[in-house]
Structure 1
């Protein structure tokens, strides 16, 4: 990615996907995948090094970083909350989806999304992608949701904290003084810039 993509005038249009890291009011951490259509916090857009740091953070999480080798192994479990109606359209219910997610983790290890909760101790939120997948919705969520809204996909049983993150990467973690990731099911894309700083 080039450093010109994220800037104060950026708006989500589906062309580029960004993964960012958030911290809630009690210090719990979450991996937020915008899937092209979820909005991003203004603090990320204001930096001229956001993409470099986000890429470094992603490499750290997936244990592909030479700069920030990861020994973060929480050895917990993963909880499945909501899941994409499109991605898992061939699965028959939540138990089958969870089994598929765990099999993916057993196959891919540190490269699987489930590892973000199992060993990195983080929540995983996914934004709805109506641009490429019209009508996609988070299965199990009964309220209204719109393109770009972030739904809670996975959660850990053993939590990470900011001290688990290498010091240079902590500055790219955006914070919310009001959200509690354990209590929120969906974060509206239109509220991202109000809720995170």
Structure 2
């Protein structure tokens, strides 16, 4: 299904987009099939292809842009999915696994987003049914599609690290602070992120 203003979340419609908070911190946003994308983003012609270019750069898979970024920082796990990590006894087990992936050089590890790229990582709550997935460590009420803060970097990526042509596909919030805001209401995604980045 094309990414446009008629697009709606669904379990097979997994997309990643990049967001900036009011202080310039950058985050990778994975909707996990159930999270909305900002309407300002969906209104851009051919945004699916342009988002692919941006995300491939972030992942180090781009044939158009070289990514030699290494912030040489670390990462923290904030909230995590009760559904994805249902077989893990505690947060330490998740950290140990991610630390091992970093040590082994797994460049697709979620930890790379924080430690190497210096980005926050938010994910949409998923699961097979309502209430099956919730963010462990969060006391408030949540629903499928809400974005929870999974990875927190210790050193931050800046917009100057992103190739100029790709900056135009980053959505910006004038109210959020990724260092403090841990849970984003899925119904308000377009309110949180009303505009695109521009120099």
TM-score (norm 1): 0.94
Trace 1:1-197 onto structure 2 (pairs within 5 A).
5-131=2-128, 135-197=132-194
Distance 1:133 1:191, change over 3 A: closer
Q: How far has the Cα of 1:43 moved from its partner?
A: 1.4
Q: Contact 1:121/1:159 (CA < 8 Å) preserved in 2?
A: yes
Q: How far has the Cα of 1:44 moved from its partner?
A: 1.2
Q: Distance in 1 between matches of 2:6 and 2:62?
A: 30
Can you give the 5+ residue segments of structure 2 that lack an aligned partner in the other structure? 195-199
The number of equivalent residue pairs is 194
Q: Contact 2:74/2:154 (CA < 8 Å) preserved in 1?
A: yes
Moved over 6 A (4+): none
Q: Say which SS state the counterpart of residue 191 (structure 1) adopts.
A: helix
Q: Distance in 1 between matches of 2:174 and 2:128?
A: 31
Q: Contact 1:86/1:133 (CA < 8 Å) preserved in 2?
A: no
Q: Distance in 2 between matches of 1:196 and 1:177?
A: 8
Q: How far has the Cα of 1:62 moved from its partner?
A: 1.4
Q: How far has the Cα of 1:105 moved from its partner?
A: 2.7
